[in-house]
Structure 1
Amino acid sequence: MDFSLTDEERHTRDWVRNFVQREITPLEPTVLRRERAGQPGISYDEILELRVKARKFGFWGIQTPPEYGGMGLSAIMTALIEAELGRTFVQFSFGGAADNILFHANESQKQEYLLPTIEGQRRSCFAITEPGAGSDLQAIRTTARQDGDDWVINGEKTFITGGADADFAMVFAVTDAEKGVNGGVTCFLADREMGWKSEPIDTMGEWGPAALVFDEVRVPARNVLGEVGQGFALAMQWIGRGRYLLPARAIGACERLVEMAMEHARTRETFGKPIAERQAIQWMIADSAVEIEALRWLVLSAAFQVDSGLDSRQAQSIAKLYGGVKANEIVDRVLQIHGGMGYTRELPVERWYRELRLLRIYEGTDEIQRRTIARNLLKGHSSIRGALG
């Protein structure tokens, strides 16, 4: 078992680390100031400018196949990159990406949706969650009825990431209620100009979800993604595309936070000594270090299974659950180490606090992950002995 990085992996990781330190981290004070003034922390134009800089060095389409101009990197390499990007709360990702299910588009759809999205000329959103149907896809109420050469969509979606800015949505609707989710749900490529509307949802963080309303929205039949009735399989493919990447980001965030805590502990004195010499503080730092290391290997193990073509769903759920819980425990400790100053907005700790809380909800709540993990074990789909059996 070789746990070392290859020269290529190390070089790629180090380049991203330097890019984050040089180009993104210096933006944090400005981003904080804008957010606290009720403005977007970083504009899309600023993100595009950063992406252009990265592209000059070949960083474009991290997981996009080379035939589409991407790097086609492995899951392990992608996890390493995400960990480095997680060391800043500035919401940045490298360009050249598109939702994995868009690659199921036919040739005409690829020209109209996939390729412009990869190039950053179009922006998409994945619209499946509804007010009464979060993780329960069988509870979807949005419908699509066929009318000549069109499908007419009615319904509402909620907490849609990027929904306020997207110019087209991959929207899932019931096309045959009698068949249920397996055979009765279809995915449509719906342009905003076809009539759907969005409304931003104000949250405690800065990820900016939106509610989408479809009121007699006409979508031409040529805009069915995949096949009619096969939307559930596409939805599962999108949801399972990389849950390990969320806890991968948490690794970087937790590393940065603990570094901040250690720096503060070395300089903050109580009763004549730095608090770094207090056992209570040392134990918080020690526990955090152990948990970060455990999370690192859970994420890399899940990524390894993805690269090996194994069924990685159990490993990804474990990493997602552990990462969300431990990231929240760690940021809480870091705030505690900073004392009253950590609770103020003078330091960015509270910003991290709000950002990391989302990890326990986004792309499958803690409860859903526990349900998945337990069911896989109880039904014999996974072993308590792990991937090694």
Structure 2
Amino acid sequence: MSIDFEIPAEAKAIREKVRKFVHDECIPAEKELDTKPLPEVLGPLRKKARAQGLWCPFVPKEYGGMGLGPLANALVQMELGESMLGALALNTQGPDDASMMTILAHGTEYQKEKFLKPLLNGEKRICFSMTEKAAGADATGMQTTAVKDGNENYILNGEKWFSSSASVADLALVMAKTDPNAPRHKQYSTFIVELPNPGYKIKRNVANMAIEGPHDDVIHGGHSEIEIRDLKVPADNLLGGEGNGFNMGQHRLAYGRLRHGMHNVAKAQRALDMAVAHVTKRSTFGQLLADRQAVQFMLADCASELYIGRLMLLHIAYKAEKGLDIRQENSIAKIFHAHMVHKVIDTAIQLHGALGFSQDTPLAKWYTQVRSQRLVDGPDEVHKWKIGKNVIKAFREHGTTASAAGGDLL
């Protein structure tokens, strides 16, 4: 019996439609940002996307989305990531996307009506405030507290660090400790906070190594350091019940890691395309770069990395479609894609020579941006630690490490 890797016709059609939209609309629109404000560029893009039925790919149709499952959504995201405007045009940008999914899965009807609806309509944005300086990758080290004030409100106090998109957000998901005496993973809860709010103060956007364009502060919203002082949050804004914040946060981050991987595949593909376009036109010492074996070897390495990256994501999508555990594969893929995109962009820069090192192409900017992929949503070392523990666990339970190393592919 053969293994069938055929993509369903409907998913293939959606992928082609999104690919055309990205190449015909989003990538050309990037140049408009040099002379126009972001709303004047993004507004028409979103209008065109909605007119074509391209909106909130992962959101059920009854909530106004495309209702795509894990496989079709993966295919779509692997196209959208080619353009900085792709995900924004379809209202599927991070960190909003994962927070929308969290409210969709755990929110009350009141919360869905008041907070989720404007997010799905693209009228508002939301950030996620979990990370703290003192805790870093250890989410159970959070010190921000939430104390109930009677039955009506919670009062939050603490600090947050690297809250992405906080400076452009209208809402925030804030994690805080509600029960210090509960088991470690049940101490935390998540609250929906309406912004601006005097109790949620953005101290600064943390400067980092990434080269920023004229609209990046609006598109990405920066990475903010937050001071939380006597922040009053209505009890009705508690999301998913007390003690469930950590588990909801981990599920939320799991999708974020996959989305990063999907967009990294797309960005790497565009970088490789740019590299090949350049070497097939550029001659040195009387010979096309494309005809040189060393250059062909470099391109072969990039193609291999992209192939592995795509297969990883499609296998994870397959397991997600079946409701299977994807935690081990998710961590492996998170690490792999972060390094893969860096390698492909680095190779593209090398093949462009001084042009690649300049800012006349987007490669230099991408190079500085993708370095964050080895840190965000858990640094490489934390994921490797988890992966390694699972390898040992698999051997102890089954006498082989296969189940922790892709041995259960189907």
User: Could you tell me how far apart the structure 2 residues matched to 1:338 and 1:251 are?
Assistant: 20
User: Could you tell me how far apart the structure 2 residues matched to 1:241 and 1:247 are?
Assistant: 10
1:65 and 2:63 matched: no
Contact persistence 1:129–1:158 (CA under 8 A): yes
What amino acid sits opposite 1:367 in the alignment?
Answer: E
- Matching residue of 2:400: none
SS in 2 for 1:227: coil
Contact persistence 1:344–1:350 (CA under 8 A): yes
Change (3 A) 1:241 1:228: same
Change (3 A) 1:323 1:56: same
1:166 and 2:174 matched: no
Change (3 A) 1:45 1:185: farther
- Matching residue of 2:133: 131
1:76 and 2:61 matched: no
Change (3 A) 1:291 1:371: same
1:150 and 2:153 matched: yes
Cα displacement (A) at 1:193: 4.0
Task: From 189, 194, 197, give the equivalent of 1:191.
Answer: 194
The alignment's TM-score, normalised by the length of structure 2, stands at 0.88
Deviations 1:28-50 (Å, cap 9, x if unpaired)? 3344x47xxxxxx9725633432
What amino acid sits opposite 2:305 in the alignment?
Answer: E
**How do 1:280-319 and structure 2 match up within 5 A?**
280-319=294-333
1:269 and 2:289 matched: no
SS in 1 for 2:166: coil
User: Could you tell me how far apart the structure 2 residues matched to 1:3 and 1:91 are?
Assistant: 26
Q: What is the total number of aligned residue pairs between the two structures?
A: 382
Contact persistence 2:192–2:237 (CA under 8 A): yes
Deviations 1:337-379 (Å, cap 9, x if unpaired)? 1111111112221122123222222222222221221122112
Task: From 166, 173, 179, give the equivalent of 1:176.
Answer: 179
Cα displacement (A) at 1:201: 2.3
Change (3 A) 1:121 1:28: closer
User: Could you tell me how far apart the structure 1 residues matched to 2:208 and 2:31 are?
Assistant: 21
Give the RMSD, CA atoms, in angstroms: 2.0
Task: From 204, 207, 221, give the equivalent of 2:209.
Answer: 204
Structure 2 stretches lacking a partner, 5+ long: 211-215, 398-402
Cα displacement (A) at 1:141: 0.8
Deviations 1:274-311 (Å, cap 9, x if unpaired)? 12222221110111111111111011111111111100
Contact persistence 1:302–1:312 (CA under 8 A): yes
User: Could you tell me how far apart the structure 1 residues matched to 2:37 and 2:76 are?
Assistant: 20
Deviations 1:171-203 (Å, cap 9, x if unpaired)? 000112122533221111111244212232223
The alignment's TM-score, normalised by the length of structure 1, stands at 0.92
1:383 and 2:404 matched: yes
Structure 1 stretches lacking a partner, 5+ long: 35-40
Of 280-289 and 86-95, the range deviating more from structure 2: 86-95
Deviations 1:226-253 (Å, cap 9, x if unpaired)? 1122211211221123522211111121
What amino acid sits opposite 1:57 in the alignment?
Answer: Q
- Matching residue of 1:37: none
User: Could you tell me how far apart the structure 2 residues matched to 1:361 and 1:48 are?
Assistant: 32
Q: Which runs of 4+ in 1 moved over 4 A?
A: none
Q: Percent identity?
A: 33
- Matching residue of 2:213: none
Contact persistence 1:194–1:218 (CA under 8 A): no
Change (3 A) 1:386 1:65: same
Contact persistence 1:99–1:238 (CA under 8 A): no
Contact persistence 1:201–1:209 (CA under 8 A): yes
Task: From 14, 20, 42, give the equivalent of 1:12.
Answer: 14
Contact persistence 2:319–2:325 (CA under 8 A): yes
